[in-house]
């Protein structure tokens, strides 16, 4: 598929003209490789991103997941994903850009998800929904990929139910936040765990 058409199909731009402008401006990448020909043929599952002066996502959260997917060589193309703690939708945005078939965006809050994502037919918005109480009624198909950026709760408490909705061989990308995994006595000023050993312990405890 032509690169400019791929950008349109992924919802990264609204027209091929806009796609061509971004490519010629040096803003389109596959991993770390800049793509400079709007008409070059690309695999349908190629991980292409638009990078502007800052970032292309609806929130900076997307920067974290985009980097993680690149580091772990993970490709969400054609996968059904579950975004736990979706908030504004940075993670969901990255998954859609990567060609995810569908994303279930779950958050206990209301009205946070960016309008652009609400209007995207591949997004199932599950607001005012606690991921600990998800069921097949919320997510009626097996999940291939779970992503999570949540606060004020430990992952061992939050993720067992979402993971129970996955198919065999599913993958998980979750941010471990030590301040929500260790004892209160190990959390310093500003809610930050600065002790390296405590940080390592928090990571080691996440065995789901």
Domains in the chain with CATH codes: 3-50 (3.10.290.10), 61-169 (3.40.50.150), 176-208 (no CATH)
User: According to the model, what pLDDT value does residue 53 have?
Assistant: 54
User: According to the model, what pLDDT value does residue 205 have?
Assistant: 80
User: According to the model, what pLDDT value does residue 188 have?
Assistant: 67
- Separation of alpha carbons 205 and 193, rounded Å: 15
Report the largest interatomic distance among the alpha carbons of the chain, rounded to a whole angstrom.
58
User: According to the model, what pLDDT value does residue 25 have?
Assistant: 73
Whether 75 and 98 have beta carbons less than 8 Å apart is answered as: yes
Residue 51, φ and ψ in degrees, nearest 5: -120, 120
User: According to the model, what pLDDT value does residue 136 have?
Assistant: 96
User: According to the model, what pLDDT value does residue 160 have?
Assistant: 95
Helices (H) and strands (E) in the chain, counts: 8, 8
User: According to the model, what pLDDT value does residue 54 have?
Assistant: 56
- For the chain, 208 residues long, the average pLDDT of each consecutive 10-residue run is 94 86 84 90 91 74 89 95 97 95 97 94 98 97 97 90 98 87 70 77 74
pTM over 0.75: no
User: According to the model, what pLDDT value does residue 163 have?
Assistant: 97
């Amino acid at each position: 598929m032509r690169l400019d058409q791929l950008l349109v199909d992924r919802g990264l731009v609204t027209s091929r003209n806009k796609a061509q402008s971004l490519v010629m401006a040096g803003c389109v990448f596959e991993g770390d490789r800049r793509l400079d020909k709007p008409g070059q043929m690309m695999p349908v599952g190629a991980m292409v991103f638009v990078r502007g002066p800052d970032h292309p996502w609806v929130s900076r959260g997307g920067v974290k997941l985009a980097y993680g997917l690149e580091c772990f060589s993970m490709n969400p193309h054609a996968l059904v994903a579950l975004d736990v703690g979706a908030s504004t939708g940075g993670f969901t945005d990255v998954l859609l850009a990567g060609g995810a078939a569908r994303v279930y965006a779950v958050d206990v809050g209301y009205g946070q998800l960016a309008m652009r994502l609400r209007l995207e037919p591949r997004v199932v918005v599950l607001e005012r929904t606690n991921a600990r109480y998800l069921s097949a009624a919320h997510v009626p198909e097996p999940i291939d990929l779970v992503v999570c950026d949540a606060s004020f709760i430990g992952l061992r408490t939050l993720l067992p139910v979402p993971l129970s909705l996955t198919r065999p061989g599913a993958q998980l990308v979750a941010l471990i936040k030590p301040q929500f995994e260790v004892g209160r006595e190990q959390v310093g000023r500003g809610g930050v765990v600065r002790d390296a050993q405590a940080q390592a312990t928090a990571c080691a405890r996440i065995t789901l």
